[in-house]
Amino acid sequence: MDEVLLHIGMHKTGTTSIQSAILGYDDGDTVQADLEIPNHSAPLYTAFSANRAKYHYWRSFGLGPEQIEKRRSSYLEMLDAQLARTDRRRLLISGEDISILDPADKTALVDFFAARVPKIHVLCYLRAPGSYAASAFQQRITGGMAQLPAHCSPGYRMRLEAFRTDARVTTLEVREFSRGKLAGGDAVEDFATVLGLDLARMARTSLNEGLGETAAKLLYHFNRVMPLSAGDRVLMQARMAMGRELAAAYPSRPIAAEWLGALADASETSYVAGHFGIDFPAAAADAPSDRAALEGYMADLSGIDLAPLDRLLETHRISGRFPGATEKLVRLYLWHVYERETALAARRQAAAAG
């Protein structure tokens, strides 16, 4: 290999759509890295973070230090083997959690690639503070957040500075994530244009990466009332499945940005403007709002029609007395837990019999 193309996010900048589009990409010159999963966040973070044993992804699935170390060794072997290929020129890697590695971990990552290829091209999309806060807040709800964070900071300096100051990084390309600034107004098309990829070879799927207002409120409420919805694979998979069902059942608009102004952090916009020439304009979403009002707004379920939730229960043939949103949500989650426990037990029984 001659070059690594390292797409590091940031979070909430169309990364899921991009990763879906480049799955299996191979044009004879550039090939996507095969690291078991299309989002390379977990493989790269596990391979290079000194704090990999505390990585939220593995903790959510209940993996212990020994299991994580085995994965680390496996990922490093995969990377080594693919970088040693002589029939392709560029290796394409995409994972937004690469950008949240500690500075020393980023140095270790660059050490690894610089020892194997002559060129490292880092690409990162940045979202304005207000729109990032609005999107990140909903993503944290999906992940299990049960109380308002102090803020949803984009952390521009934390994500970029180690790459900006490392002379072994051949190219650091930083682009603004906004429809008016993207080629074709689309993240996937812009990604292909910037990196010189064949857009015709990329699978274009319409992915809704956001969470509607109603589903966000229901999940936030569930997070506050359910004490255990992560910690092993069964619980985490059940939670993810329920979240997808709620998002599909309640396809409403996202939470309005004006509610989330108190969570926006615009303290590093001068850093972005000074080093990368991106001038994020002042916006209403960047102005402080009332945190107490936001908490009250998120807790208010009075206007939510529970009929779609009832239909989900009916779809799974669940009947009983569940008077409100709390009981319905918990019962739906328990169904998903039971389904995954049953499937896991069946797999174990089949393995023992075989």
Domain 3-201 matching CATH 3.90.226: the answer reads no
Instruction: Tell me the pLDDT of the chain averaged across its residues.
Output: 92
Joined together, the tokens standing for residue 123 give: 């690409």
Residue intervals of the chain classified under CATH 3.40.50 are 3-201
pLDDT digits 0-9 by tens, 267-282? 999 999 999 999 986 5
Among 23-37, 117-131, 205-219, 320-334, where is mean pLDDT lowest? 205-219
Could you tell me the pTM of the whole model?
0.83
% of the chain exceeding 70 in pLDDT: 96
Most confident of 12-16, 61-65, 182-186: 182-186
Query: Residue 292 — pLDDT band, cuts 50, 70, 90?
Result: confident
Closest CA to 239 of 313, 336, 309: 336
Let me know: does 202 contact 192? Beta carbons within 8 Å: yes
Q: Read off the DSSP letter of residue 345.
A: H
Among 54-58, 100-104, 116-120, where is mean pLDDT lowest? 54-58
Residue 285 pLDDT? 42
Among 9-18, 232-241, 251-260, 338-347, where is mean pLDDT lowest? 251-260
Spatial neighbors of 98 by CB under 8 A, at least 6 apart, are 6, 8, 9, 40, 41, 44, 45, 109
CA neighbours closer than 13 Å in the CB half-sphere of residue 345 = 6
| Helical segments of the chain, H only | 15-21, 41-48, 56-60, 65-83, 103-114, 129-143, 156-164, 187-195, 213-225, 233-249, 269-276, 291-299, 307-315, 325-353
pLDDT for residue 160 is more than 80: yes
Among 87-96, 109-118, 143-152, where is mean pLDDT lowest? 143-152
What element of type H or E holds 31?
strand 30-32
pLDDT digits 0-9 by tens, 184-223? 999 999 999 999 999 999 987 655 556 889 999 999 999 9
